Structure formats: structure tokens, C-alpha cells
A = this chain, B = another copy of it.
Amino acid sequence: MMILSAFLPAALGFSLSQQSAYRTHTPRSSRAVVEASASGDVILIGVAADSGCGKSTFMRRLTGIFGGTNVGPLGGGFDSGGWETNTLVSDTTTVICLDDYHLNDRQGRKVTKRTALDLAENNFDLMYEQLLALKSGETIMKPIYNHVNGTLDTPEEIKPTPIVIVEGLHPMADERVRDLLDFSLYLDITDDVKFAWKIQRDMIERGHSLESIQASIEARKPDFDAFVAPQREFADVVIQVLPTQLIPDDKEGKILRVRFIQRDGKENYDPVYLFDEGSTIEWTPCGKKLTCSYPGIKFAYGPDEFLGNEVTVLELDGKFDNLQELIYVESHLSNTATKFYGELTQQMIKMGDSPGSDNGTGFFQTLASLKIREFYETLSGVTVEAETPKVAA
């Protein structure tokens, strides 16, 4: 019954009044969540991001650090080039793409005239029921949204693993789902950077006009701002990507300033810090002992406020040129949750060809992965084995 509800043809006007889900209180389900969470069967991690599901770099960084064998799409599919699943699994971890909870297929959205960003186009009732079931150790039959055809395909069986990661546009939008999450993270690419990246790809590489790029960004922005961005307020960690401040008026978007915004008071989480916990610091490591090429690297650290929350922010502006810089920086941070000296650097090197491996996006995604591993270990009492060091630091 629960599973079938995903396939009800959701007609225009079939409203779940999802817009009002933000900040509403439903004490009964809240309490149920705490019980499920306390059972410790499954630890649920939410990752909000405005990007494709499943194969994102961050997911590979995260699953890489959690180790586990047989990482791949559920059922070992994909090879045919067709679309079989959005789900990634290993023996410890399941990554579910929340696009699978779209209420309507692409055709259906043409009728409703809503984008998939709209809360009303996502089946949060089902999402909540199924994630609650998974957390309670039950197997579910999860719908599949086919990104190629835009259709809702035959559901797939998902068995609970110790770690379940839900990635997508709305992991924190619905209060019930949000309360199920043990840890939540938001990847926040700011508009300026999105614009610079799109210019780079669509204008310079694909020959689109500036006007068409601007139009496509503007078209998406209202729904994104209304339905996705507000989740930042609820995230335990926000990785915020901004233009560099090292180069005045930089428009290229190649050098980035990335902020690792850690919400204060999160249980079982000790914020990463630089030199002196709780103080405010700016640090340019490039100098007499470490030399870097222009424009170098600059860190900032300190308490701040973010969308009404007290937070602790670690910030990295710039770009790494070599291993020496990376290990130097790692060695000056505290509470990084590494299992050996240089683990953060090693993970960065392992993913060296992936986007962001030479800047704060990769650095903080890796750091977040380490912190989430630590958080998982604390909560579950299970020890995740780290990969053998391969870097002589």
C-alpha cells in the first residue's frame, strides 16, 4: 500500500501542501523519529545539492572514505548505457537519489506546469514512510525516476545498510524527513559561481549566447530560491562556494572561496578548527616556510552566524599547486577526524582527477566525509577501517 502510493497518477490540484512543510511542527512524527534514530539500526545522512544524483564527486569521496567493497549501482546495472537505477550500494552504504520520489514523470509535470524543484512535485509522504522503514531495518520497494526518459520505472528493492545516504534536491525540506536524518549537509553553490561556471561551459565551450545563459539561470532561480535554498538553515554542515577574494573582481570562477559552515551544538560533532578553537583567525600559509604560486591560499576560521544559527566557519580561498601545500594545511587543522597523519591529503590525491581536488570544494567535501565517518562511528559504536596509508608525508 505504502509503495503503491508512489505510482498514483498525481493530477493537477492533487496538493500535499508541501510548501507549508517548512518550519511546521508535527510533534507526533517528531517523536517517532527520535525512537527510530535511537534504535541505531541505520544511520541516515542527508545531502542537499543542486546537481545530478548518484555519480557526483562528493558521493564518491564519501563512499570512498566509508570504504566497503562492491561499490556500484544497485544490481550491477548501467553497463548497457540504459537507465536502471539511481541507487549506489556497497556492503556498508546505500546512496539513494531523492529524484526517485518525484511525484510525476516529466510528462506529468507538463500538465502541472511545475518544475521538479517545486515541493508539490515531490512525494514527501512516501519519502518519509520509506526512510522511516529503512531506519527501522525494513526492506522497501523504492520508486525509480528515469532521468533519461523522465519516466517513473518499476520500483527496486532496497535493503537497509548501516549507512543510508539520501542525496537530492530536498532531503531537508519536509520536517518529518528532516527529523529522520542523523546528519545533514548542504552543498551551496552561490549564484555568482553558478553563473561563472555556466558561462565557462555553455558560452565558451558550447557557443551559447550570454543572453540564453542568463535566461536559463533566471528561469530556474525562483523555484530554487523558494524550495531548495531554504534547507540551508537546517543543515548541520553547509559547504558554501563563493568567488575568490584573492583576485580583485575575478569573473572566471576558477579560483574559489569555499566555506565549511558547521552548525554549533550538533551532538557528537566537534567542529574542525584552526590553531585556536573558538577564536577568529585569518591564515595565509604561503610565506617563508611554504611557497605557493599566485594567488596562493588563504584560510579563515571563526564563529559566525548563518541564517539565524550560531555556526563555526572554516574557510579556504585559493588553489593548491602541489602535495606539499595540501599536507601542510592538513597538519595545521584540528578535529579533522583523520585516522592517520595525512589521510585527508591521501584522499584528495586518490581523487586527484575529480573536479575540486585542488581547491576548497574537494578539500571540504573530503573533510565532511571524514567528519561524517567519525560521526557514524560515535553514533553506531562501529569502527570503519581506514585505507592503508600510501602517502609518505
Contact = CB atoms under 8 A, between A and B. Distances in A.
A324 to B, nearest CB: 14
Interface string A282-307: 11111111100000000000110000
B281 A282 contact: yes
A279 interface: yes
Interface string A69-108: 0000000000000000000000000000000000000000
Contact of A279 (B278, B280, B289): B289
Contact of A283 (B279, B284, B285, B303): B279
A278 B286 CA distance: 8
B275 A276 contact: yes
A277 interface: yes
Interface in A246-296: 275-290
A283 B275 contact: yes
B303 A288 contact: yes
B275 A287 contact: no
A332 interface: yes
Contact of A286 (B279, B286, B287, B312): B279
B275 A279 contact: no
A286 B290 CA distance: 28
A285 B289 contact: no
Contacts of A284: 279-281, 302
Contacts of A302: 284, 287
B283 A290 contact: no
A290 B290 CA distance: 30
A303 B278 CA distance: 25
Contact of A287 (B280, B282, B287, B290): B280
Interface in A134-186: none
A148 to B, nearest CB: 50
B281 A283 contact: yes
B283 A276 contact: yes
Contacts of A278: 287-290
A232 to B, nearest CB: 22
A312 B287 CA distance: 11
Contacts of A312: 288
Contacts of A332: 275-276
Contacts of A279: 283-290
A277 B281 contact: no
Nearest to A300: B282
A193 B290 CA distance: 36
A325 to B, nearest CB: 12
Interface in A327-383: 332
| Most chain B beta carbons < 10 A, residue from A276, A277, A282, A285 | A276
Nearest to A277: B289
A229 B302 CA distance: 39
8 contacts: A275-B275, A275-B281, A275-B332, A281-B283, A287-B302, A287-B303, A288-B303, A288-B312
Q: Which 9 A-B pairs have the closest CB atoms?
A: A278-B288, A280-B284, A278-B289, A282-B282, A275-B275, A279-B287, A278-B287, A279-B285, A281-B283
